[in-house]
Amino acid sequence: MKACYPGTFDPITNGHLDIIERAASMFDELVVLIMENPRKKCLFSTEQRKRMIEQSVKASNVSVVIGSGLTVYFAKSIGCQAMVRGIRAVSDYEYELQQATANLTLDETVETLFFIARPEYSFLSSSVVKEIAMNGGEISGLVPDEILAEVQTGMKRL
Ligand code: ADP
């Protein structure tokens, strides 16, 4: 089965990477889907985010694709039967439940599957990484080693 893991990944964190590795071991193919959202202000361009994910992921059945429009329609158009999302807390659950239900009404043939965050990453988000880096804090251990320098450089531009 082919699944996708849609998100913003601005930038990818070790929490995202953990979900990618766990999902990649369950599906034949996993597409990490960077959805373009003109309303979201990102620090890194979609191309930069794509490259950072490619540098971080080791599994051979994972690819990275940039998508636009409605996620569920895009997922279907590239042959995915399932979408993976991560849940860190009840606050994530409320949002994710609404999204997944909306997606089910748009296309009931695409299932949303949830992975529970590992406890050590349950506080971790791209925003937390940016906040820490912006204020000169240590982000090693929070993002993949392969992209550490790029994230730090990206933050200095702000
Ligand atoms: P979006 O803007 O679509 O929420 P994100 O890149 O912020 O994109 O997150 C993508 C998905 O990864 C979401 O389902 C989010 O809940 C999940 N996620 C983010 N950080 C973690 C983490 N530390 N552990 C597990 N799942 C996570």
List of E strands, 27-155: 29-35, 62-67, 82-87, 111-116
Q: Please tell me what DSSP assigns to residue 142.
A: T
pLDDT in tens, 33-51: 999 988 889 999 999 999 9
**Ligand 1 centroid to 77 CA: how many Å?**
22
Residue with the two structure tokens 């996620």: 71
* Token couple for 45: 């361009």
pLDDT in tens, 115-150: 999 999 999 999 999 999 989 899 999 999 999 999
Q: Is the pLDDT of residue 59 over 90?
A: yes
Residue 157: the pLDDT is 62
Residue 50 CB contacts under 8 Å (≥ 6 apart), including other chains: 34, 64, 66
**Ligand 1 centroid to 128 CA: how many Å?**
12
Cβ of 14 less than 6 Å from ligand 1 = no
CB 36 within 8 A of CB 66: yes
Pocket test for ligand 1, best of 21, 50, 88, 123 (most atoms within 8 A of CB): 88
